[in-house]
């Protein structure tokens, strides 16, 4: 099987601040042309890692390799990497077009007509044709993000870094923009690295997810691998709800209700049942004393506090972790 070469490699990268260690001995490879997510809670080291790739922080130890060349000591403008900041960082006194042109005009050797043509191309790419003359104050949140993307893409970087790209958007816009970002990455073919603390956002967008916790890389894999085959209890719990029993865990959606007792079932008593439209959120307690939550199909019947139910799950759905 042919494997695409890694465009970015982090080798034994650590970052120590006066008060704490933000990143510890990080080893990571990002394949060219992928949408890669750094996922984890606040303070886990994901943004520090992004800043070391961008050049805004230097590693205390280790190497940052872009196409095999160590760029750890280079200034941000000396790397072929672009960053879309969380607040977009658009110049308020410039039009959208002028914001996009800014990086190109700082690079020598490009004629004005070439710059104009390139700006038109990226405006069309982010679906902002006809809005280039507007200043940021006249743009919506989603439009500002598109201009910030266009400004970063116009210089044709090897890697586009995005720091919490959806956090400034209205919740109703997030799903739409999330899909647009993923489609845009597919069209341009540039490697995207996205920092996020939102599990659903990472699962929906990324080809590969790296989960970080307390400065340490916990697991790297596809969304399916990370969710269905977590390697640590932290990863299992961070990517979704888990019911932990004596020696294993089981996710709420894997639990089913049987009409009667059989060899697979465990008897439980319903403590609460909440109708959520597409499912029923059931809280029940096993005879062993363990409390469980389950997401049961609404077609599976109705339940009330005090009802006796028979719960079961497939053995393959058990998460057995250290």
Q: What confidence score (pLDDT) does residue 42 get?
A: 93
Residues near 172 by beta carbon (within 8 Å), at least 6 away in sequence: none
| CA pair distance 89, 206, nearest whole angstrom | 24
Tell me the backbone φ, ψ of residue 69, rounded to 5 degrees: -110, 130
Q: Are 150 and 100 in contact (CB under 8 A)?
A: yes
CA separation, residue 292 to residues 193, 249, 259, 289 (Å): 36, 10, 18, 10
pLDDT at residue 109, rounded to an integer: 56
Q: What is the pLDDT of residues 65-118, one digit of tens each?
A: 999 999 999 999 899 999 998 888 899 999 999 999 887 777 655 667 788 888
d(CA 150, CA 124): 9
Closest by Cα among 172, 162, 191 to 87: 162
Domain residues of the chain, as ranges? 6-236, 241-317
Tell the CATH topology of 241-317: OB fold (Dihydrolipoamide Acetyltransferase, E2P) (2.40.50)
Rounded Cα distance between 87 and 144, Å, is 9
Q: In DSSP terms, which residues pair with 270 in a beta bridge?
A: 284
Cα–Cα distance measured from residue 267 to residue 282, given in angstroms and rounded to the nearest whole number: 14
- Class of the 6-236 domain? alpha beta
User: How far apart are alpha carbons 302 and 191 in whole angstroms?
Assistant: 48
**Residue 1: per-residue pLDDT:** 41
Structure confidence by residue, pLDDT tens digits, 121-154: 999 998 899 889 999 999 988 888 889 999 999 9
Using DSSP's 3-state secondary structure scheme, residue 91 falls into coil
Q: Is residue 297 over pLDDT 70?
A: yes
The C-alpha atoms of residue 123 and residue 133 are separated, in whole angstroms, by 11
Could you give the C-alpha distances from 267 to 154, 195, 259, 290, 298, in angstroms and in order? Answer: 61, 43, 11, 11, 20
pTM of the model: 0.89
């Amino acid at each position: 099987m042919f494997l695409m070469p890694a465009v970015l490699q982090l080798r034994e990268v650590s970052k120590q601040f006066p008060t704490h260690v933000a990143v510890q001995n990080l080893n990571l490879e990002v394949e060219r042309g992928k949408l890669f997510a750094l996922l984890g809670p606040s303070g886990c080291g994901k943004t520090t890692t992004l800043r070391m790739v961008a050049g805004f922080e230097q590693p205390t130890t280790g190497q940052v390799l872009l196409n095999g060349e160590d760029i750890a000591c280079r200034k941000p403008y000396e790397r072929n990497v672009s960053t879309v900041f969380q607040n977009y960082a658009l110049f308020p006194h410039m039009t959208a077009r002028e914001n996009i042109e800014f990086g190109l005009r700082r690079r020598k050797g490009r004629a004005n007509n070439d710059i104009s043509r390139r700006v038109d191309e990226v405006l069309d790419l982010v679906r902002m044709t006809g809005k280039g003359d507007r200043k940021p104050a006249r743009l919506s949140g989603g439009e500002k993000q598109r201009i910030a993307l266009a400004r970063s893409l116009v210089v044709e970087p090897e890697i586009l870094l995005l720091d919490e790209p959806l956090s400034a958007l209205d919740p109703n816009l997030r799903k739409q923009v999330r899909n647009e970002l993923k489609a845009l990455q597919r069209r341009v073919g540039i490697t995207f690295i996205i920092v996020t603390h939102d599990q659903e956002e990472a699962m929906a967008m990324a080809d590969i997810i790296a989960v970080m916790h307390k400065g340490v890389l916990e697991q790297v894999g596809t969304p399916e691998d990370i969710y269905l085959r977590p390697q640590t209890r932290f990863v299992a719990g961070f990517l979704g709800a888990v019911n932990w029993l004596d020696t294993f865990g089981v996710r709420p959606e894997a639990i089913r209700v049987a009409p009667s007792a059989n060899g697979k079932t465990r008897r439980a008593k319903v403590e609460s049942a909440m109708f959520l439209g597409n499912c029923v959120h059931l809280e029940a307690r096993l005879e062993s004393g363990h409390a469980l939550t389950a997401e049961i199909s609404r077609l599976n019947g109705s339940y009330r506090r005090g009802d006796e139910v028979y719960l079961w799950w497939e053995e393959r759905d058990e998460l057995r972790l250290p």
